[in-house]
Amino acid sequence: MSKEWSVPYRVDDLKDDAYISIEANADICAALKERYEVNAVNNLKADIRIQREIGGNNVFVTGTLVGSVTQPCVVSLEPVTTEIHDEFEAYFADKSQVLPFKAAKAKLEAKAGAMEQEVLDEREDPEEIIEGIIDLGELVAQYFSLAIPTYPRGAAAEEAAVIGHEKLQEGRVSPFAALKDWKKDGK
């Protein structure tokens, strides 16, 4: 898979917390539109904090992303624009220097053919730092994709659902309607 938005950040010599803001340009938004299979990614930006955890092996990334996406309504197919505001966090580690015990154990169990595997917390199985670099653009792109509504509905879809429900109720015959005359025989 190609990375539509790559913002490499060197963390191998990170000592103090770092703060960075990134913003996708029009070309990146167009590429992300294709990746997410939506009508448009109108904008996307993120404010990110990068810090090395005490002990020095893991890097902890937190941030807030803000963006806008346009996609077809699942009912009317009219374009629906959604404003997205989401927070994210991620852990990274140089796996050539350290591999958390639980992650190593899970990999051994997978090789041994264990049928059921525990889903590890991200802190216990962090993403890999590759050659001292983490990709902040790809990280934000992944979290943005998770925040995109799966079934977007426009205002017209909500109105159509109410009208459709009312029409269903008009012609509906209760299954108990046949029982209304049941006791009229005088009994």
Of residues 19, 16, 40, the one with CA closest to residue 28: 40
pLDDT-derived band at 125 (thresholds 50, 70, 90) equals: confident
pLDDT-derived band at 165 (thresholds 50, 70, 90) equals: low
Tokens (6 digits) for 183: 């006791």
Instruction: Answer whether residue 50 shows pLDDT above 70.
Output: yes
What are the C-alpha distances in Å from 168 to residues 75, 120, 162, 165, 172? 17, 48, 10, 5, 6
Task: Return the DSSP state at 127.
Answer: E
Between residues 144 and 119, which one has the greater pLDDT? 144
Task: Report the distance separating Cα 23 and Cα 41, nearest Å.
Answer: 12
Q: What is the pLDDT of residue 118?
A: 64
Q: What mean pLDDT comes out for the span 7-35?
A: 95
Instruction: Answer whether residue 113 shows pLDDT above 50.
Output: yes
What is the domain partition of the chain in residue ranges?
A: 8-153
| Number of Cα atoms under 13 Å in the Cβ half of residue 172 | 10
Q: For residue 147, how many other CB atoms are within 10 A of its CB?
A: 15
Q: What mean pLDDT comes out for the span 115-143?
A: 83
Instruction: Answer whether residue 28 shows pLDDT above 90.
Output: yes
Of residues 48, 37, 61, the one with CA closest to residue 148: 37
Q: What mean pLDDT comes out for the span 87-95?
A: 91
Instruction: Answer whether residue 65 shows pLDDT above 50.
Output: yes
Stretch among 11-20, 88-97, 172-181 having the lowest mean pLDDT: 172-181
Instruction: Note whether 68 and 149 are within 8 A (CB).
Output: no
Q: What is the pLDDT of residue 183?
A: 66
Between residues 87 and 163, which one has the greater pLDDT? 87
Q: What is the pLDDT of residue 171?
A: 62
Taking all residues of the chain, what is their mean pLDDT, rounded to a whole number? 83
Q: What is the pLDDT of residue 173?
A: 67
Between residues 125 and 146, which one has the greater pLDDT? 146
